[in-house]
Each structure stands twice: as structure tokens, then as C-alpha cells.
Amino acid sequence: MSSAIATLVPESLWSYFADLNAVPRPSKQETRVIQFIQDFGRSLGLPVSTDATGNVIIKKPASPGREGRPAVILQSHLDMVHQKNASTHFDFEAEGIRMAREGDWVRAEGTTLGADNGIGVAAIMAVLASQDVVHPPLEALFTVDEETGMTGAKGLQGGLLSGKVLLNLDTEDDQELTIGCAGGVDVVATSHYPTAPVAADLDYFEIVLDGLSGGHSGMDIHRGRANANKLMNRFLYAASLRFAVRLACIDGGGLRNAIPRESRAVVGVPKKSVQEFQAYVAEESARYREEYQVTDPSCQLNCRPTAAPESLLDRDYQARLLCALYAVNNGIYRMSPDVPGLVQTSNNLARVLVKSGELSVQCLTRGSVDSEKMDLATAIRCSLEPLGAEVTFVGSYPGWTPRPESGIVKLMSGLYRELFGQAPKVTACHAGLECGILGTNYPEVEMISFGPNIHGAHSPEERVQISSVQKFWKFLRETLARL
């Protein structure tokens, strides 16, 4: 079905998107996609350069008559989030994304689609290859590792670009012009923990929590979706008090910037309580479905017998761990007092791995106000340090301060009204965009972000709207013609 995507309109953009999605491109493993973009630029006879971080820059001269205009930077990131459903057999390291059309939408078959930010990359490629798009001098900037640390943007040195305006093509609502975003920091806790031998008076079960919606931990954090790590911990805490279950391991969540959709644990249940415990699992599954019937209607909790594990958590440590994870803030921490409806600070309890004497907990804490972001990160550290864990703050990056009076905001707001008959939503978002980081070395560059409708980013439910891509392409072309 992926070949059919290349024939959608605008054909050049969709064709490049299909070509891009044939290249495996996980964050921090972008060698193949870097080569792909380099080869593309050289095939057009355009100057191509790559910095020490792996960011690729392709420059294109202005259209005839536009030579004297200031250069414009077009920017998108090459990497994509790799997530799949547990039942989907797919090798992200070797396979291209399998795409399919459903009415006005394009999705992938059981995996993330890569429209975030592949549609932006494909749009830039289409502009660079076009003979009829009117534009000033262009500097196409393709950054790496946006999804797991923004190290590409952080590594971009000043002086490589001369543009005075930067168009970031990484927004997921075609009615919005984004002019600000949150910063973030990873909170990572690791430790060894004491174990205990398995007990003969216990029967062992694997607990599986799945069917959750997940999503982008910035753009979707306000939607009230269940977090698999928090919900699993809630169950384990209650079951340990009610049945004196013993915990052997937990494996929940995955990527730091994705709301966790699944969690698994192995527990030992006193033989005398097995039937009551199994009934309790069913009761809790129904309760969770009722609580999350709007956001996570497919949520389910199941248990099945399993072999005895190699060891259990020490009883005292188990109690302290479940209390600590219960105390970790998840979701919205504070709404913005200045921008109605904007999440100001949040946390995503993204990953919990407890296995064979090793603990690893990962959170992504986001905030538009840096001091409040770090205050929340500190609160999380204070929840986890009593476990004896080493808690570190990794990869902190700044937010992007809005400049609503800038020339590019006024130009594109007016153009949007002219083209589409209504005013755009000029807003800031709670996701992490690279503009704030890029602005540290290019402080005089005016920046704005826009894009087509993309739903379910960072999850296997990701999809992009075909008609919205057409609208986005028209807006991009007309913007370049006015600059």
C-alpha cells in the first residue's frame, strides 16, 4: 500500500515522504537517513554540508528576480519515534514503514507513521526540487535526534546559516501558528536493590496492562489519558496490601516522550488467595475501563500463570518502591496563568524497569518556565532518592519565548486569513520544538512553526490528514512567495 501514497496530491511531497519512510531512521541512528538527504541534495546539484553533529544543510539560490531578498531557513528533523503495537511484527532497524490510506488519512500498519516530522522533511525536499515554487534564497536545515534529546539542534554552531527567518515545519494542527514552546529535562533514576529468594507457598502470575491510547507526552498530556506505569503501580500497591503479593519485576513504558501504553509485571500470590486475586484483577480491569472510558476505552488488565522467577524484591524495598512511584507526579502540574488552555508544566513517568536487582526510572519533565520545570524535577528526585537511587537531570533544553509582534508572525497571520478566510490560532505549545535551542546561537532570527493535522504522534495510532497536507503545502508555497 505504501506505493499508492506516492501518488497523492501534492504528488512531489507525498512521493518524497514515501521515499523517506523507506529509510529506517530512529533517533541516534540516523546514518542512513543522513546519507539519504545528502544524496538527494547532490542529485539536484545543490551545495550540501553536514556539521559535526550530523545536521545536514542544503542551500538553494533564489528564484529569478528574488535574489536580493534575505535568505529563509526551512527546518525539520530527520529522526522519528519508533513505537509499535505488541502484536505487530516489525523490525524498525531493517524495514520501511508500511503505510495505508483510510479515507482522508494516511496511517501505518501497527507502528508509528513518521509524519512527525517526515511530512515537514518531505515538504522541504519538494520545495528544493521544485521548478515552479517562487522563493527567496533558501537554507534547508535537517536536524538529527530531535525526539530523544534535541542534540542536533544543540550541536548546531552559529555562523552556518545566514537566514533572517526560520520556518519550522513541525506543528500538528493546521489552524495554528506556533510561536513558543516548553523546555524540558529528563529525570533519570537508577539503583541496585536487595532481592529475596522465591517462596514455595506462592503461585506466580504475569500481570499485563495494555490497550491504552498513549500519545505525545507534550501535545497529548492534557487529554487525561491513562499512564500505564502509574496505573500498574496503583494495582500493585493495592494488591500488595490486600493479598500480600510479592513483586518479582516490572517492565513498563518505553520512550521518554511517549505516554506509556503498556506495562507488565510478575508477582507471587499466596496460594490461599489465588482465586480471590484473579477475581480482583478482573474487577480492577473493569474499574479502569470505566474511569478511562472516554480516553482509553480498550484498557485492560489481565493475569496469567507463569513460571517462578529467579528472585523477588526484598519485602521492605518493595513497599518503599511502590510508595515512591505512587508519589511521582504525572500529567499536568500547572496550567499557564497567562495563556488560556496552555499547559505550563507537566511530567511523564515514561519508563519503569525493575528486574534482577536493577531499577531504572525515566521521566520527561516539561515546562515553559524553567524555574518551575526544575522545581518539579526536584520534587520527583525527592520521591525517588529515599530508595537509594542516584537521580540525575539529563539533557535540559530551553523553551522558546514567544515574539507575537515579529514580522513573520504578522505576515503569516495575514496571509492565513487571506487564503483560508479565518484567523489562525497564534499560540504556544507544550511540546518541545527546536526553535528555542536554535535561537541560542541565532538570537536575531525570527521563528515560527506550522504544519498539517497529525493525530496520535508517538503512538501506533499516528495518522496525517491528506486534505490538511494540501492546505499546508499551499500555505508554505504562498509564504515563500511573500518573503
Provide the pLDDT for residue 255. Answer: 85
Give per-residue pLDDT as tens, 431-445.
889 999 999 999 999
State the SS3 of the chain.
CHHHHCCCCCHHHHHHHHHHHCCCCECCCCHHHHHHHHHHHHHCCCCEEECCCCCEEEEECCCCCCCCCCCEEEEEECCECCCECCCCCCCCCCCCCCEEEECCEEEECCECCCHHHHHHHHHHHHHHHCCCCCCCCEEEEEECCCCCCCHHHHHCCCCCCCCCEEEECCCCCCCEEEEEECEEEEEEEEEECCEECCCCCEEEEEEEEECCCCCECCCCHHHCCCCHHHHHHHHHHHHHHHHCCEEEEEEEECCCCECCCCEEEEEEEEHHHHHHHHHHHHHHHHHHHHHCCCCCCCCEEEEEECCCCCCEECHHHHHHHHHHHHHCCCEEEEECCCCCCCEEEEEEEEEEEEECCEEEEEEEEEECCHHHHHHHHHHHHHHHHHHCCEEEEEEEECCECCCCCCHHHHHHHHHHHHHHCCCCEEEEECCCCCHHHHHHHCCCCEEEECCCCEECCCCCCCEEEHHHHHHHHHHHHHHHHHC
Which of 285, 281, 359, 288 has the alpha carbon at shortest distance from 324?
A: 359
Give per-residue pLDDT as tens, 290-321.
999 999 999 999 999 999 999 999 999 999 99
Provide the pLDDT for residue 4. Answer: 85
- pLDDT surpasses 80 at 214: yes
Provide the pLDDT for residue 97. Answer: 96
Provide the pLDDT for residue 41. Answer: 98
What pLDDT band is residue 87 in, cutting at 50, 70 and 90?
Answer: confident
- pLDDT surpasses 90 at 188: yes
Provide the pLDDT for residue 340. Answer: 86
- pLDDT surpasses 60 at 1: no
Provide the pLDDT for residue 85. Answer: 87
Provide the pLDDT for residue 259. Answer: 96
C-alpha cell of 344? Answer: 505550563
CA pair distance 41, 57, nearest whole angstrom: 9
Provide the pLDDT for residue 232. Answer: 98
CA pair distance 123, 240, nearest whole angstrom: 53
Which among 30, 116, 139, 146 is annotated as catalytic?
Answer: 146
- pLDDT surpasses 80 at 455: yes
Which among 79, 147, 446, 461 is annotated as catalytic?
Answer: 79
What pLDDT band is residue 3 in, cutting at 50, 70 and 90?
Answer: confident
* Unique residue bearing C-alpha cell 529535562: 185
Provide the pLDDT for residue 86. Answer: 80
Give the number of C-alpha atoms closer than 13 A to the C-alpha of residue 288, restricted to the C-beta side. Answer: 26
- pLDDT surpasses 80 at 70: yes
What pLDDT band is residue 6 in, cutting at 50, 70 and 90?
Answer: confident
Bridge partners of 209, per DSSP, are 263, 301
Provide the pLDDT for residue 466. Answer: 98
185-397 CATH fold: Alpha-Beta Plaits (3.30.70)
CA pair distance 117, 77, nearest whole angstrom: 6
- pLDDT surpasses 80 at 153: yes
2-182+399-482 CATH fold: Aminopeptidase (3.40.630)
Query: Cβ(143)–Cβ(169) under 8 Å?
Result: no
CA pair distance 157, 437, nearest whole angstrom: 11
Handedness of CA 106, 111, 117, 123 (dihedral sign): negative
The mean pLDDT of the chain is: 96
**Is 79 part of the annotated catalytic residue set?**
yes
Provide the pLDDT for residue 24. Answer: 96
Backbone phi, psi, residue 311, to 5°: -160, 170
What pLDDT band is residue 272 in, cutting at 50, 70 and 90?
Answer: very high
Provide the pLDDT for residue 412. Answer: 98
- pLDDT surpasses 70 at 122: yes
More confident residue, 340 or 205: 205
Domain-wise residue ranges, the chain: 2-182+399-482, 185-397
Provide the pLDDT for residue 210. Answer: 96
Which of 265, 358, 375, 367 has the alpha carbon at shortest distance from 309?
A: 265
Q: What average pLDDT does this structure show over 99-116? A: 96
Q: What average pLDDT does this structure show over 13-29? A: 96
- pLDDT surpasses 80 at 229: yes
Q: Tell me what percent of the residues of the chain surpass a pLDDT of 70.
A: 100
